[in-house]
Amino acid sequence: MNKNNSAKDVMTTKMLLLVAALSALTLPVQAQTPMPNRTFASAADVEKLIAKARAEHKGGNTMEIIANVGAFPWQINYRTGNTPASIHKHEMELIEVLAGSCTFITGGTLVDAKDSGATINGTAIQGGTAQKLAKGDRIMVPAGVAHWYSDVQGEFVGATLHVPAAK
């Protein structure tokens, strides 16, 4: 990669994070200890985070922060099996598949839904649209839409960013 492409990639990443940060100002954010901002991660950094998540994984969803602005992390999600279905009430979710595959279900109705504030979790989804996801795929899940990572084949690694929904 030449210096011009590298500089463009850095600027693109910074612009995406800036948009997410500015959007965040329009919504109340849950009280929490803010993390220091981290606006860049190299490909090597991401590979190290995936290796760390793989090594520390104990089931469910293991997360590592790639970059963040305030309370909005861009993170690695490492899964080796199904995780709870969910609805994010006020945030859309951008997902890029970095490794592995799964069946990703969107829409439909959560089974055994439990409201935990900003998120509603369930054990599965009834109805909805199933789509096979594999390395390189990207998906956007609008705020308020049920979604579920199911039928994980071996491991599934995604990079996700939750962005406040437009009002």
Q: Report pTM.
A: 0.77
pLDDT score, position 28: 43
Q: In 3-state terms, what secondary structure has residue 92?
A: strand
Structural domains of the chain sorted by starting position, each given as residue range(s) with its CATH number in brackets: 3-164 (2.60.120.10)
Mean pLDDT by 10 residues, the chain (167 residues): 56 46 42 76 97 96 94 93 95 97 97 96 97 97 97 95 89
- Residue in the structure block whose two tokens are 């009002």: 167
Residue 22's pLDDT is: 40
Q: What's the burial of 151, exposed, middle or buried (CB within 10 Å: 0-12/13-18/19+)?
A: middle
